[in-house]
Amino acid sequence: MKIAAIFYSKTGITRKVTLDIVDGLKKEGIMVDVFELKPLRDYSRPLHLNPRLIYETLIKKTTEITVIPHEPKLKDYKLIILASPIWCGTIVPPIREFIKKYKYSGKKAVCITTSMLPLNYSKKLKRVTEREGKYKVIHCVNVVGRKPYKKVIDSIVRKIIEELAKE
């Protein structure tokens, strides 16, 4: 059984969280393929100094993306992990574009958000993932701060393992 971990990260925080989760799953013998989203037109400046980034985020616009190392075939995966930073209180355009482009009715998903505020942003990602992508979200969590907390990462890994054991 395989899992796809799909993320976008501008500063490296969401990348670290995603890769820590992937490492935890691999230690349990679960195969995980990692896919990084890159906007075709990158956001060159930091968040608060980038009018295009702020505009696209606030109006919930999508942006063209490329997937590294290649486009995923979601039918090959039991579950996907979607990880998004939070900008201006919402999910980022590259993740929104992925959800829109790769709809998959009923595919199980885990939604992870990273932010500096202890607010339940992952529920926003869950709503968009279910409504626009037609995924079945089984778990969502917001990881707060620059350093992922081991307890939070371990609980995400445990939740995924429990879900996979049901099948």
Per-residue confidence (pLDDT) for residue 54, from 0 to 100: 61
Per-residue confidence (pLDDT) for residue 3, from 0 to 100: 98
Ordered domains of the chain (ranges, CATH): 2-165 (3.40.50.360)
pLDDT at 48 over 60: no
pLDDT at 58 over 60: no
pLDDT in tens, 88-140: 788 888 999 999 999 898 999 999 999 988 888 899 999 999 999 999 999 99
pLDDT at 152 over 60: yes
Global confidence as pTM: 0.88
Tell me how far apart the alpha carbons of residues 55 and 155 are, in angstroms, rounded to a whole number.
35
Tell me how far apart the alpha carbons of residues 109 and 164 are, in angstroms, rounded to a whole number.
12
Tell me how far apart the alpha carbons of residues 157 and 81 are, in angstroms, rounded to a whole number.
11
pLDDT at 26 over 90: yes
